[in-house]
A and B are shown apart, each in its own frame.
Chain A
C-alpha cells in the first residue's frame, strides 16, 4: 500500500501545486502505480517528486515532464530501498540495540525504573535521531536537488559507515559476553557450559541454522540432558 501512503504524504503539496481538482486527479492517478521503497528513505523521493511536480505544473509540453516524474521515482525507489534496508534495518537498528544492551549485566540486579528508563529512552533517542534526521533532510534535500540528489547520495562513503557500524556492534557483543561471563555466571561449570553454548551456537548459526531453531534446540537440549541426568 506504499503507493497510497506516498500520495497521502504528498497530497498537501499536490493541492497547492494543482488547485484545479480535475488536473490534480490526473496527477493522483499517475501516482497510483506500484511503488515500494524503504520507509526512512521515501522522504528523498517525496521531496524530489514534489519539486518535479512543480516543474511539470509550469511546463507547457506536459507529457515529457510527467513521464520524467514516473521514471525518476521508479529509478530511485529500488536503490534507496536497498541502501535503507542495509543501513537502517541490518546495521543501525541492531547496533543501537547492542550499544544499549551490552552494559545490562552490570545493572541488571539493581534494574529499577531509572535503569530501565535509560535503556528505554537511550535506544529510542539514539535510533530515532538518525531516523528523524533522515526523514526531514531527505525531504528537504530531495526537494532542493531534484534528480541531482543521486549524485549527493553516491558521494557518501556508505561502505565506510557500514564498516564502522559493524565493528561497533561486534565490540558491543564481545563486551556484553565478557561482562555476562564474569558477572552473571557463578561457577566454573557454568562458565565452561556458556563457552560451549557460545561456540556451538555461533558454529550452527554460521552453518545456516535459524535463530528460532537454535532457541528451541537449546531448551530441548537442556531438558534432554537433565532427563538423562548429565
Chain B
C-alpha cells in the first residue's frame, strides 16, 4: 500500500513538476494496474475516466477534478479486493472515488493558499538579501504538495478499501446486477461526451 501511495504521489506531482501527463487517468490506471497485477482493469477504469472527463483541464486559477486521484483510488480498491473482478465492484469503486477526488481538490485549494503565504515569506527573504530563498521556497512548496498527496493516499487507500468491502456486503444483488449492466454503457457515455467536445467549434474563429 505504501508503494502505491508513493507511486501515486509521484503521479500527482505531475501537476507541479513538468506536466508530462503521467497524471492522465488512463496512464495512472495502467501503472497502478501493472503494480497490482491486473493491467486490464487499470486500463478499463483509466479509459472510462479519460473519456467521460475528457473536457476537464486546468485553466488559470481553476482547479480541475483530480482524475489521477479518482483512477488511482478506484484501481487500487478494486484490485485490493482480490479474486475475480466484477463489473459492479468497478462501478462502485469509481462512484466512490469521484467524491474522494473532490475532497483532494479542497486540500489543493488550501495548498494553493498556503503557497501564497510561502511566496510572501520568500519575498521578505529576498528583500533581506537572501537570493537562495527562491530555490528554497520552490522546493519547500513541492515538498508540501508531495506530503499532502502522500498523506491523502495513506488515509484514503485503506479507508476506501474498507468502505468498498462494507458496501459490497450490504448491497442487494439487484443493485449489483444494475451496476454490472451500467458498466457496459459507461464507455458509450464517455464517447458521447467526447463526440460533443470535439464537435464544438468553441476555439475556432469564423
Interface assignment of A162: CB less than 8 Å from any CB of chain B: yes
Given contacts A101-B47, A123-B24, contact A113 B34 (CB under 8 A): yes
A101 to B21, CA, bound (A): 15
| B57 and A194 contact, CB distance less than 8 A | no
Task: Identify which of A101, A123, A163, A218 gathers the most chain B CB atoms within 10 Å of its CB.
Answer: A101
Please indicate the chain B residues that have their CB under 8 angstroms from the CB of A62 in the complex. Answer: none
Known A97-B50, A201-B193: A21·B21 in contact at CB below 8 Å: no
CB contact between B131 and one of A28, A112, A197 (< 8 Å): that residue: A28
Q: Residue-by-residue, is B121-156 near A (CB-CB < 8 Å gives 1, otherwise 0)? A: 011001101010011011001000000000000000
> Across the interface, do A131 and B189 meet the contact criterion of CB distance under 8 Å?
no
Which residues of B sit under 8 angstroms from A55, Cβ to Cβ? none
Closest to A110 in B: B40
Instruction: Please report which residues of chain B, range 185-206, place their CB below 8 angstroms from some CB of chain A when the two chains form the complex.
Output: 185-189, 191-199, 201-205
Complex alpha-carbon distance, A173 and B50, angstroms: 12
Of chain B, the residue at the smallest CB distance from A97 is B50
> Closest CB-CB distance, A18 to chain B, in whole Å?
10
Chain A interfacial residues counted at CB < 8 A: 80
- A45 on interface, CB distance cutoff 8 Å: no
Q: How far is the CA of A78 from the CA of B118 in the complex (A)?
A: 24
Q: Check A223/B134 contact, CB under 8 A, given A86-B203, A173-B195, A190-B184.
A: no
User: Is B158 on the interface with A (CB-CB < 8 A)?
Assistant: no
Assess whether A202 is in contact with B186, with CB atoms less than 8 Å apart: no
Chain A residues positioned under 8 Å from B191 (CB to CB): 173, 176-177, 180, 198
Which residues of A line the B interface, CB within 8 A?
1, 3-5, 7-8, 11, 21, 24-25, 28-29, 32, 36, 39-40, 81, 85-86, 89-91, 93-95, 97-98, 100-101, 104, 108, 111-113, 116, 119-120, 123-124, 127-128, 131, 159, 162-163, 166-167, 169-170, 173-174, 176-177, 180, 184-185, 190, 193-194, 197-202, 205-206, 211-212, 214-216, 218-219, 221-223, 225-227
